[in-house]
């Protein structure tokens, strides 16, 4: 809230309270002080007096400034109400932890999630917080926390969302930003006309097959209307995105120009790589462990042409900067030449940016990369990759698909800046044709669990209903190609959840799968190399330790 208020106030000050003709010396400034000869203009000289700056006539003359200020005020008040509601909710959570779970605030930082969850389950047995069930399982708790996230992970897994575009020169592009995700949550989960009527229940008509086409038409209409609303608000949102990005990243880029060349897990990548029933802090920890291996894999691809160009750009920029610095050291009167300070500053900034940015294109001549081994190290932590990546780690197609999951920070910033323009177009033109598929997805993959509400059936971790035949023995799954999870997500999610919660009792088919898996692991361990080789650095050891 303070940052938003500062950005709006400071921008208004720059637009209304600065005399740029005086600041840029386009108009001579008359100094009335006797006996003084001031040749230079100071900053106070370029700032208009408060009565003239805040003059109502001056402000009314710029109607678009008034409009933007009104929109900013409405948005700020909306955010203020949300913050106050969040504070009340957080206060209730704090009271629940202190009084019900007996966890004081100063001890919370030393508590693991498993300990908090155990206390919650014990409290349910004593006081029956959930009146429909005598006991809550670990899976029930995760279903309530991650209800909407599990639906989103399942839709990404089934390639229902996000939209993929085939663009010339760029190939296949996956576009998913925070703004687009917010609009999708409004349409599906949290909006007034969303498919969920509250935080735990899907609308009854969404469960009836006879109403699917009517619901799809209404959902497509809501998508178009929401897209039109986004289109009308596009100028305001785009202006805010530009201002906020400038104020947020300018200082960081100045301090560390190479930060734009760093990578981060994309929003699409976080959904694609997330297990069912995986909490946010668990996902962050797992992807953080895979950050360095993923960076090494992406850096293993180098272009000789880009390396040559990078070396020359850094050489030219550094040479010009060195000459200017040498001239300045030789005779400080060089600084009095008009625009020499501007040129020195810009060249220094460009040289620094060029050197830091181009350095990422220049490979280490003493390093020998093995893409297959590097990709296996990535897989040891992220757990998912398409089948066609196996044996093709050195291909450019594999790298480009990996770049969709692990993108440059500069690409992330660019996507967020373009989001106010592209999101309305996606909502109006690209999403409505998928409305019927989305309705069918929620009808076919929603189950009602007593004491929990409506949840995504994939999150039940039932390999018989959603298992992949490539991961299971014959007869262990009844799932058709439509109902099975892709890339073994059901099986991998089941393994992770069972390891994290050893006391949890899985469904009978899932329990058989886990027992067969343990037997296979024990047989493999019998033929494994000695411990001193196993603990050496490698994909197998990394996978086991993760």
Tens digit of each residue's pLDDT (9 = 90 or more) over 417-446: 999 999 999 999 999 999 999 999 999 999
Residue at 523 is within a domain: no
In a domain, 471, yes or no: no
pTM of the model: 0.87
Give the ranges where 158-279 is alpha helix by DSSP (H): 178-185, 212-232, 234-255, 267-272
What percent of the chain clears pLDDT 70, i.e. is strictly above it?
87
| 76 lies in the same domain as 190 | no
Rounded to the nearest 10 degrees, what angle do helices 212-232 and 234-255 cross at?
70
DSSP 8-class letter at 428: I
pLDDT of residue 238: 94
Q: Are residues 114 and 225 in the same domain?
A: no
| Structure confidence at residue 242 (pLDDT) | 92
pLDDT at residue 316 is higher than 50: yes
Q: How far is CA 400 from the centre of its chain?
A: 18
The percent of residues above 90 in pLDDT, for the chain, comes to 56
Out of 102-106, 216-220, 303-307, least confident range: 303-307
Q: Which whole number is the average pLDDT over 24-42?
A: 63
Q: Is there a domain that residue 542 lies in?
A: no
Domain boundary, last residue among 313, 335, 362: 362
Model confidence at 59: pLDDT above 70: no
Do residues 248 and 393 share a domain?
A: yes
Of 92-101, 252-261, 439-448, the range with the lowest mean pLDDT is 252-261
Q: What is the pLDDT of residue 36?
A: 47
Dist. CA 285–CA 388, nearest whole Å: 27
pLDDT, average across residues 35-55: 72
In a domain, 196, yes or no: yes
Q: Which comes out higher in pLDDT, residue 487 or 358?
A: 487
Does one domain contain both 321 and 202? no
In this structure, are residues 1 and 76 in contact, taking their beta carbons and an 8 Å threshold?
Answer: yes
Average pLDDT, the chain: 86
- Which pLDDT does position 23 carry in this prediction? 81
Domain boundary among 460, 479, 497: 460
In a domain, 505, yes or no: no
- 292 and 314 share a domain? no
CB 375 within 8 A of CB 393: yes
Cis peptide before 526, with omega less than 30 degrees from 0? no
Do 290 and 170 share a structural domain? Answer: yes
Kindly tell me if the per-residue pLDDT of 197 is higher than 80.
yes
**Counted domains in the chain:** 3
Q: Which range, 9-18, 47-56, 314-323, is most confident?
A: 9-18
Do 102 and 242 belong together in one domain?
A: no
Residues 313 and 355 in one domain: yes
pLDDT of residue 340: 74
Tell me what the mean pLDDT of segment 248-275 comes to: 85
Task: Evaluate whether residue 322 is within a structural domain.
Answer: yes
**Banded pLDDT at 35 (limits 50, 70, 90):** very low
* Mean pLDDT, residues 122-128 taken together: 92
The pLDDT assigned to 133 comes to 85
Domain of 212 in residue numbering reads as: 146-296+372-460
Quick check: 38 pLDDT over 80? Answer: no
Q: Is the pLDDT of residue 354 over 90?
A: no
Say whether both 283 and 412 belong to one domain.
yes
Q: Is residue 520 part of a domain?
A: no
Q: Show the DSSP H helices in 383-431 as ranges.
A: 396-405, 409-425
Of 460, 492, 522, the last residue of a domain is 460
Is 331 in the same domain as 419? no
Q: Average the pLDDT over 286-302 and give the result.
A: 91
Residues 309 and 283 in one domain: no
3 within domain boundaries:
yes
pLDDT top residue among 338 and 487: 487
Residues 141 and 164 in one domain: no
Work out the average pLDDT over 173-202.
Answer: 95
Helix, strand, or coil (residue 13): helix
């Amino acid at each position: 809230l303070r940052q938003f208020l500062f950005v709006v106030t400071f921008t208004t000050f720059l637009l209304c309270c600065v005399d740029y003709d005086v600041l840029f010396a386009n108009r001579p400034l008359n100094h009335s002080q006797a006996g003084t000869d001031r040749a230079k203009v100071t900053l106070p000289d370029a700032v208009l007096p408060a009565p003239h700056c805040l003059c109502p006539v001056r402000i009314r003359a710029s109607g678009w400034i008034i409009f933007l200020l009104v929109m900013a005020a409405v948005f700020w008040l909306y955010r203020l109400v949300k913050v106050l509601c969040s504070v009340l909710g957080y206060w209730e959570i704090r009271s629940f932890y202190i009084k019900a779970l007996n966890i004081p605030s100063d001890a919370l930082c030393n508590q693991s999630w498993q300990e908090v969850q155990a206390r919650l389950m014990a409290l349910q047995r004593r006081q029956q917080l959930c009146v429909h069930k005598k006991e809550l399982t670990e899976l029930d708790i995760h279903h309530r926390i991650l209800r909407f996230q599990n639906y989103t992970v399942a839709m990404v897994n089934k390639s229902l969302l996000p939209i993929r575009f085939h663009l010339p020169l760029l190939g296949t592009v996956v576009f998913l930003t925070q703004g687009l995700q917010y609009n999708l949550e409004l349409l599906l989960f949290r909006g007034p006309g969303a498919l969920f009527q509250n935080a735990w229940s899907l609308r009854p008509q969404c469960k009836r097959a006879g109403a699917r086409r009517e619901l799809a038409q209404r959902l497509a209409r809501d998508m178009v209307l929401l897209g039109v609303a986004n289109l009308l608000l596009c100028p305001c949102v785009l202006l805010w995105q530009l201002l906020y990005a400038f104020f947020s990243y300018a200082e960081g880029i100045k301090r560390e120009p190479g930060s734009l060349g760093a990578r981060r897990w994309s929003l699409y990548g976080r959904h694609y790589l997330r297990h069912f029933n995986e909490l946010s802090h668990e996902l962050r920890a797992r992807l953080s462990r895979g950050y360095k291996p993923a960076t090494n894999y992406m850096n293993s691809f180098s272009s000789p042409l880009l390396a040559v160009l990078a070396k020359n750009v850094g050489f030219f920029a550094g040479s010009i900067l060195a000459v200017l610095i040498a001239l300045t050291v030789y005779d400080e009167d060089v600084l009095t030449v008009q625009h020499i300070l501007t040129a020195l500053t810009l060249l220094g900034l460009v040289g620094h940016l060029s050197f830091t940015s181009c350095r990422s294109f220049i490979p280490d001549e003493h390093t020998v990369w093995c893409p297959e081994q590097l990709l296996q190290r990535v897989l040891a932590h992220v757990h998912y990759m398409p089948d066609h990546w196996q044996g093709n780690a050195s291909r450019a197609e594999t790298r480009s698909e990996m770049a969709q999951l692990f993108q440059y920070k500069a690409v992330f910033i660019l996507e967020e800046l373009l989001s106010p323009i592209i999101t309305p177009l996606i909502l109006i033109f690209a999403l409505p044709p998928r409305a019927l598929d989305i309705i069918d997805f929620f009808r076919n993959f929603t189950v009602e669990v007593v004491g929990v509400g409506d949840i995504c059936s994939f999150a039940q971790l039932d390999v018989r209903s959603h298992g992949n035949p490539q991961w299971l023995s014959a007869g262990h799954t009844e799932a058709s190609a439509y109902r099975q999870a892709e890339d073994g997500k059901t099986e991998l999610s089941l393994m992770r959840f069972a390891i994290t919660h050893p006391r949890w009792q899985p469904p009978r088919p899932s329990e058989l799968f886990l027992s067969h898996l343990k037997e296979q692991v024990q047989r493999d361990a019998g033929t494994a190399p000695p411990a001193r080789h196993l603990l050496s650095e490698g994909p197998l050891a990394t996978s086991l330790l993760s």
